[in-house]
Structure 1
C-alpha cells in the first residue's frame, strides 16, 4: 500500500489523475501538494490563489500542503521541493503522484529528483495519449474552464471557456488537445471528484510574457491569463 502525496495543479489533468488514484485500492492519498509563489501567494503556472486551492481541497476532502517557491518564476523550486519531500518522507509519504502525460517527457527528471530522497514517482495518466486523456476527461464528468492560454494559439476570448466537446473540437490544427505543450491551462471546479462546486469568478484578461527554459535554450512566450478568484 503506497502512501501518496498528490501534486495538485488545480487543472483538468490533476483532477483526472486524482480521480484515478482515489479509485485505486493499492494507494492511499494522504494529501494534496501545490507549489505557490512567495510574491503572489498563487500556484505556479496556473496562478490559482491559495484560498481557491484550499476551496478545491476542502471540496475534494483532502488536506492541502503548500510549498513556497521564492522565485522569480520557478527559481528555487528544486531546493524548496527537496526540503519539503524530505519532511514528507519522515511523515510516512513514500510516493509522489502527478498528472503528467508522456508527451511532457518529465518522468525521468522527477524520478531522478525524488528517488534519492526515498520517494517513488507515480503517474496515473502516463500511458495515455492526449486524445485518450481528453476522451477520459469528457467521460469523467469533471468540469473545468480555461484560465491561461498561449497567445500564439488562442486569444483572450479563449479564456473562461468550459472544456467540453466543442472546445476540443474547435482547437486550432496542430494544438495538443490536452495542452501538453503549454497551449492552455485550466481550473477544475465541479464534478464527481468534488463534494460541492467551487464558487469562483475570473478577473479580466491580461497579457503577460514569460521566459521558459527549453531544449533549445531560453524562449519568451506570451500568454493571456484570467485569474480565478473566490466570489466576494
Structure 2
C-alpha cells in the first residue's frame, strides 16, 4: 500500500510519452496505476501514429503496467466524450492525475485541461516548456531506441520510415522541431530503461495516407488542410 497520489499515463507508444514516464518513475511522487491508449475503433490502431494494438500491448507487458484501451468512434465530438467519460471514471476510482508527454503546444494543453477540469482531474506534464533539442539528447543519452513509424511528407523523405531516430537524423533535419512536436514525425519506442527487454520489429516497406486537419483562425473561423504522411509497415517479431 502507498499513500502516493494515483496517476494514469497517456500513452501513444512514442518517445515523448516514454521519456515523460521515465522522469515520472524516477521522481517517485505518484503511484502509477495504468497507461491508457486511444485506438481507432475500426482499425484498432493509434491515430496518426497508425501503430497496431498488439504493439502497445507488447510495450505495456514489458513496462509491467496495466493497459487501458479506449476505442474512438468516427463521429462528431467523439474524442471529447470518450476522454471526459474516462477521466470521470478515474475520479470515481480514486485517481486524480493524468500524465502527458506534451512539450509546448498550448492549444492542445488547453483542450486537455478543459476536459480534465470537468472531471476533477489534474494534468501532469513532465516535459512541459523544455528545450526540445535538450529533450531529444536526453532521450539518446538514456539509450532509448525509437523507430520512425510516421513522417510528414512535407518535411521528411519516406526512406526514413522504419529507421531508428538518431542524432544524425536530427542533424539532417534542422528545419523541423527536434522532437517532432509540430507533427513532423511520430515514433514507436522499442528499447529503453523503462523496459525490461527490446521489442523486436521489422519494417516491410512503406505506404502513404492523406489526413485532413481542421484549424481555427484568430477570428474563430475553421479551415481544413490536408497532409500526406508516409508510414512504415511494421511487423512485431517478438512480444514476450
TM category, shorter: over 0.9
Match of 2:20 in 1: 17
How many equivalent residue pairs? 230
- Is structure 2 residue 207 aligned with structure 1 residue 201? no
* Unaligned 5+ runs, structure 2: 218-222
Match of 1:147 in 2: 149
Of 204, 227, 231, the residue aligned with 1:225 is 231
Matches within 5 A, 1:21-170: 21-71=24-74, 76-103=78-105, 105-170=107-172
Give the 3-state SS of the residue equivalent to 1:180 in structure 2: coil
How far the C-alpha of 1:139 sits from its partner, in A, is 1.4
Moved more, 125-134 or 3-12: 125-134
Task: Output the CA distance in 2 between the equivalents of 1:188 and 1:104.
Answer: 25
Task: Output the CA distance in 1 between the equivalents of 2:84 and 2:203.
Answer: 33
Task: Output the CA distance in 2 between the equivalents of 1:103 and 1:109.
Answer: 10
Task: Output the CA distance in 2 between the equivalents of 1:68 and 1:103.
Answer: 24
Give the 3-state SS of the residue equivalent to 2:24 in structure 1: helix
TM-score between both structures, scaled by the size of structure 1: 0.94
RMSD of aligned alpha carbons = 1.6
Q: Tell me if structure 2 keeps the 8 A contact 1:49–1:229.
A: no
Structure 1, residues 175-227: CA drift from partner, whole Å, max 9, x if none? 11111111100010012111111122234211111001123421111110114
Task: Output the CA distance in 2 between the equivalents of 1:203 and 1:45.
Answer: 19
Q: Tell me if structure 2 keeps the 8 A contact 1:104–1:180.
A: no
Give the 3-state SS of the residue equivalent to 1:226 in structure 2: strand
Moved more, 199-208 or 117-126: 199-208
Which structure carries more strand by proportion? 2
* Unaligned 5+ runs, structure 1: none
TM-score between both structures, scaled by the size of structure 2: 0.91
How far the C-alpha of 1:106 sits from its partner, in A, is 2.0
Task: Output the CA distance in 1 between the equivalents of 2:232 and 2:42.
Answer: 18
Q: Tell me if structure 2 keeps the 8 A contact 1:47–1:227.
A: no
Match of 2:187 in 1: 186
